[in-house]
A and B are shown apart, each in its own frame.
Chain A
Amino acid sequence: MKKLNIVLLAVILISLSACNGLPIEGDFGPTHFNLIDQDNQSQIFPDLIKGKIGVVGYIFTNCPDICPLTTNNMRLIQEELKKENINDDVEFVSISFDPEVDSPEVLKNFAEIRDLDLNNWAFLTGEKSIIDSLIKEAGVIAVVGDSSVTKEGETIYYFIHTDRISLIDEEGNIRKNYLGSRINIKDVVADIKKLL
Chain B
Amino acid sequence: MKTKFKFLIPLFAVLILLGCAKQNDEVKQPEESTAHMSGMMVHNAWIRQAAEGTTTALFGMIMNHTEVNDTLIGVSSDLAQLTEFHETYQKEDDMMGMRHIEAQPIDANSSLILKPGSYHVMLIRLNQDLNVGNTKEITFHFKHAGDIKVEAIVKEMNEMGSMDHSQH
| A69 in contact with B157 (CB, 8 Å) | yes
B94 touches A66 (CB 8 A): no
**Residue in B57, B84, B130 whose CB lies within 8 Å of A65:** B57
A28 vs chain B, min Cβ distance (A): 19
**Which residue of chain A lies nearest to B98 when distances are taken between CB atoms in the complex?**
A158
- The answer to whether A163 and B95 have CB atoms under 8 Å apart is yes
Q: Chain B interface: which of A1-9, A56-64, A124-132?
A: A56-64
Asked if A112 contacts B98 (CB within 8 A), the reply is: no
A148 near B94 (CB under 8 angstroms)?
Answer: no
Given A141-B95, A145-B97, A160-B96, answer yes or no on A72-B157 (Cβ-Cβ < 8 Å): yes
Is B81 in the interface zone, CB < 8 Å from A? yes
> Are A113's CB and B49's CB within 8 A?
yes
Q: Distance (Å) between the CB of A176 and the closest chain B CB?
A: 13
Interface residues contributed by chain A, number (CB under 8 Å): 38
Number of interface residues of B (CB under 8 A): 38
| Other-chain residue from A64, A146, A179 in contact with B97 (beta carbon distance below 8 A) | A146
A65-B120, A68-B48, A113-B49 given; 17 more Cβ-contact pairs under 8 Å: A62-B54, A62-B55, A64-B56, A65-B116, A68-B50, A68-B56, A72-B158, A109-B54, A146-B97, A146-B100, A156-B125, A158-B97, A159-B97, A161-B95, A162-B94, A179-B94, A182-B163
A contacts, CB < 8 Å to B? 61-66, 68-69, 72-73, 76, 106, 109-110, 112-114, 141, 145-146, 148-152, 154, 156, 158-164, 177, 179, 181-182
Jot down 8 A-B pairs with beta carbons below 8 A, ordered by A: A61-B55, A64-B86, A65-B117, A68-B50, A114-B49, A148-B122, A160-B95, A161-B96
